[in-house]
Amino acid sequence: MRPVTDNLDFNERTASAIVSGRLRPGNDRLGVAVSGIVSHIHALVSELRPTRKEFREIVAFLTDVGHATEDHRQEWVLLFDVLGVSTLVETMNSARPAGATPNTLRGPFYRADAPTLSLGASISLDARGEPLTVHGRVTDLDGKPVAGAILEVWQPNADGIFENQQPDLQPEFNLRGKFVCDQDGGFIFRTIKPGGYSIPSDGPVGMLLQRLDYPLNRPAHLHFRIGAQGYQTLVTQIFDADDPFLTQDAILGVQRDLVGEFRKSGAGEWELAYSFVMAPARIQEQAS
C-alpha cells in the first residue's frame, strides 16, 4: 500500500505517518536517520506539548550551537559528547573480546606528527609539574608480548591544558610523543602528573549544562594510541583513580578497566604502572 503523504488531514495523530511517508531514504543512511529523528521528534512534541515561545527557545539553542561551531571549536560534537552519544557510538564500534583493553574517544587534541622518542625519555619539555614515570607492557590476549608496538601518548599539563590549546605558552609537542615497545612489549617514559579539566563552559552547551547542574569536569587522564601489525589499533585513556571526578566524567569516557593507580615512589615522585592488552585485528582489517 502506498504510504500516506496527503497533508489535507494533517493533525497530531497523522503527522508522523504523513512526513515519514514522504521520506524515501532507501539505503541512504543519513536519510534513514532523519526519518527516525522525525518520528521521535513528533512523539516528543506530542508528549511535551511546547508553547510557541518554548519552541522558539529550542530553535534558538540549536541556532546558537551552530553559530558557536567553527574550525577550532565543534560545539555540535561537544553536545553529542556530553549527552553520551559519542561514547555510545564508540562503544558499539569498538567491541573488544573479554580481557582486551577497551577503546575510548580519541578527543580533539591528538596530533599524528608527534616525535618518536627513546624509551625512558621525558615528554615534558618545560619540566613544569610533579614528575611521573609511566611504565608497563603491551601484550596480546594470552599475555604474550607485542614486541615493537607503537605507543603514542598525549596528555594535558598540570593545569589540564594540552599543548595545542596554548601554542604561545607551551613548547610545541610538550607532553606528547611516540615510543617503540621493546622485545618484551615493555615501555617506559617520564612525564608530569596530568591535571583534570573542564569542558568548555562559555558556549551554549556549557551554559545549558550549568543551568541543568550537569557535571562539566573530566577526571585527570593520559591519552594513548597503540598500534601493531595484526592487532586492532587501541585508542584509549587511563584515568587517575584518586581524581574526585572519576565517576562524574562529563563525556562518560571512564571505564573500570581504564583506571590507573598513581603511586608515590620512594623518591617522592609519582609512578603509574599500566599494561595494555591488544585484541587481534578483525578479518576485514587484516585484509585491508
Question: 137 or 223, CB closer to Fe ion?
Answer: 223
Question: 175 or 277, CB closer to Fe ion?
Answer: 175
Q: How far apart are CA 237 and CA 130, in angstroms?
A: 20
Q: How far apart are CA 70 and CA 242, in angstroms?
A: 35
Q: Residue 88 corresponds to which cell in the numbers above?
A: 555510545
Contact window for Fe ion (CB under 5 A) among 21-29, 65-73, 104-112, 114-122: 104-112
Nearest distance from residue 18's CB to Fe ion, in Å?
45
Show contacts with Fe ion in window 105-134 (CB under 5 A). Answer: 107
Query: Which CA distances in Å does 6 have to 16, 23, 55, 193?
Result: 12, 13, 25, 63
Contact window for Fe ion (CB under 5 A) among 103-111, 187-195, 208-216, 257-265: 103-111
Question: 107 or 185, CB closer to Fe ion?
Answer: 107
Nearest distance from residue 87's CB to Fe ion, in Å?
13
Question: 178 or 218, CB closer to Fe ion?
Answer: 218
Residue least distant from Fe ion (Cβ): 107
Nearest distance from residue 278's CB to Fe ion, in Å?
22
Question: 79 or 222, CB closer to Fe ion?
Answer: 222
Contact window for Fe ion (CB under 5 A) among 37-45, 53-61, 71-79, 99-107: 99-107
How is residue 58 annotated by DSSP? H
Contact by Cβ (8 Å): 246, 254: yes
Nearest distance from residue 107's CB to Fe ion, in Å?
5
Show contacts with Fe ion in window 199-218 (CB under 5 A). Answer: none
Nearest distance from residue 194's CB to Fe ion, in Å?
8
Within 13 Å and on the Cβ side, how many CA atoms surround 214? 19
Q: Tell me which H or E stretch contains 235.
A: strand 234-240
Question: 19 or 199, CB closer to Fe ion?
Answer: 199
Query: Which CA distances in Å does 50 have to 13, 18, 44, 123, 142?
Result: 16, 21, 10, 53, 56
SS3 197: strand
Q: Residue 93 corresponds to which cell in the numbers above?
A: 564500534
Q: How many CB atoms lie within 10 A of CB 122?
A: 16
Number of residues in contact with Fe ion, rule: CB under 5 A?
1
Question: 60 or 169, CB closer to Fe ion?
Answer: 169
SS3 237: strand
Nearest distance from residue 131's CB to Fe ion, in Å?
20
Q: Interface with Fe ion by CB under 5 A: which residues?
A: 107
